[in-house]
Amino acid sequence: MKLALLGGGGFRTPAIYRALADGSTRTQYDAVVLYDVDQARLDRIGAVLAGMNDQFGRSVALTATTDLDAAVDGADVVYCAVRVGGIAGRLLDETAALAEGVIGQETTGAGGITFALRTVPVVTEIAEVVARRAPAAVFINFTNPVGLVTEAIRRVLGDRAIGICDAPLALCRRVAAALGRDPADLWFDYFGINHLGWLRGVFEHGHDLLPRLLADEASLESFEEGRLFGAAWLRSIRMIPNEYLYYYDFATEALTAMQAGRVRAEFLQRQQESFYAGGGSPAAALRSWEASLAEREGSYMEEAWNGRDEELRNVAEARETGGYGRLSLDLVDALHGDGHEVLILNVANRSSLPFLDEEAVVEVPCVVGRGGIVPVAIGAVPMAAEARIVAVRAAERAAIEAALTRSRSLAVQALALHPLVPSVEVAGRILDRHLAAQPGLAETLR
């Protein structure tokens, strides 16, 4: 089995590779190719992976290249984790929004839309190369905003493109822990689109345990989402939102914290510069990467814990690092394993959420097996959740159209239609900041 890791010079690559190197996958990988546009980053990450090979005593055939065609040629699995514009692009996504008084977040709100404007043309080209050079490959997309980008890739690759995010899984695990249950014993009735979903029920032998959790304030506030949203709100809506809903349900507080504190991309930029500038042995590179990762996770969603330092520390400690690496390899195992697994993935809707069209990418539990991947039927959801899903999918689709047709007017519309952007004027000014700072974008958006 050949695996191509696109954006392989990225900081997240070792998280994926580790799950493969530690021998816990059922799938046998014969060749792993890292692809990136930046040779220096490939070298540095290559050192970390070599460190991992040493650590686990493995010798996976590992190559690195800046030639996309060669990287994907004949691949069985393509992982796409490219970051168009690099960390500097992310910094711009976050700061341009904040400068206009709007939440600056990589995937949610204005930042997600501007990220997409930059990213969609690039991933579309990548998908076209994959269509030619790896016609049987499964394409697993990590590139954010995952739902939007996966929908764009599906236009080229159809059902072979699957989007992946470990946030729903992590939520389900935390809820299972709060309930004192093994996740393997439960059905998680989770629904939504990427970074905009809710856990509506937790079933054990067909019986919903969520009401019990909502009734028990101590348990409810014992885990990240419980603390983040507060027992009163969760009891009111009777669901547990994905942590990214904090940016919607508590937008004022998130914005205030972002405006007061440091921008996440700034922190990451400094941190990554330091990591990538490092050198030394594979073992040293691995140690450096691990230290950086721990620091990253320790400040994840910092804005949500403004002034609640201890909460942040508790929550960070409870987080599992690099869960997406594990999840993506589990997906490949499930696609080739016996029987069926259930994973929450980003796939075409069919009629899972009956208020969306069949091609819309949704994030719901899916059955995965050698036959393929099929989402389960969710049925009607609370109107307010439906409204948000439709609103964000509308903005995201406008962003795809804007990127593919290079229309400035549609780009403003995509921003303005997003529920977290309060005005057409603000949308226009955010876009202008991007056009001023990204000459490439300015050239293409008419």
- Residues from 182 through 211 that contact a second copy (CB under 8 A): 184-189, 203-207
Which residues are CB-neighbours of 327 under 8 A, at least 6 positions away?
A: 164, 166, 169, 343
Neighbours of 73 (CB within 10 A): 16
Of the two residues 285 and 362, which places its CB atom closer to a second copy in the complex? 362
For tokens 């032998």, the residue is 205
Site string for a second copy, 153-172 (x = CB under 8 A): ------xx------------
Site string for a second copy, 44-73 (x = CB under 8 A): ------------------------------
Considering only 48, 75, 286, 412, the residue that binds a second copy (CB under 8 A) is 412
Of the two residues 5 and 172, which places its CB atom closer to a second copy in the complex? 172
Tell whether residue 308 is a contact of a second copy (CB under 8 A): no
Query: Considering only residues 125-154, where is the footprint of a second copy by CB under 8 A?
Result: 136, 138
Which residues are CB-neighbours of 370 under 8 A, at least 6 positions away?
A: 335, 336, 337, 338
Tell whether residue 358 is a contact of a second copy (CB under 8 A): yes
Tell whether residue 371 is a contact of a second copy (CB under 8 A): yes
Contact 228, 187 (CB under 8 A): no
Of the two residues 417 and 441, which places its CB atom closer to a second copy in the complex? 417
* 3-class SS of residue 65: strand
Considering only 101, 282, 298, 323, the residue that binds a second copy (CB under 8 A) is 101
Largest CA distance in the chain: 57
Question: Angle at the Cα of 320 (from 210 to 286), degrees rounded to 5?
Answer: 170
* 3-class SS of residue 240: strand
Query: Rounded CA gap, 56 and 287, in Å?
Result: 14
Considering only 40, 260, 342, 436, the residue that binds a second copy (CB under 8 A) is 342
Tell whether residue 118 is a contact of a second copy (CB under 8 A): no
Query: Considering only residues 385-404, where is the footprint of a second copy by CB under 8 A?
Result: 386-388, 390-391, 393-395, 397-398
Query: Considering only residues 313-332, where is the footprint of a second copy by CB under 8 A?
Result: none
Tell whether residue 375 is a contact of a second copy (CB under 8 A): yes
Query: Rounded CA gap, 155 and 4, in Å?
Result: 21
The CA distances from residue 284 to 29, 75, 86, 279, 290, in Å, are 25, 31, 24, 8, 10
Q: Which two tokens stand for residue 57?
A: 């005593």
Tell whether residue 354 is a contact of a second copy (CB under 8 A): yes
Query: Considering only residues 214-273, where is the footprint of a second copy by CB under 8 A?
Result: 229-230, 232-233, 235-237, 249-253, 255
Contact 48, 289 (CB under 8 A): yes
Query: Considering only residues 414-443, where is the footprint of a second copy by CB under 8 A?
Result: 416-417, 419, 422-426
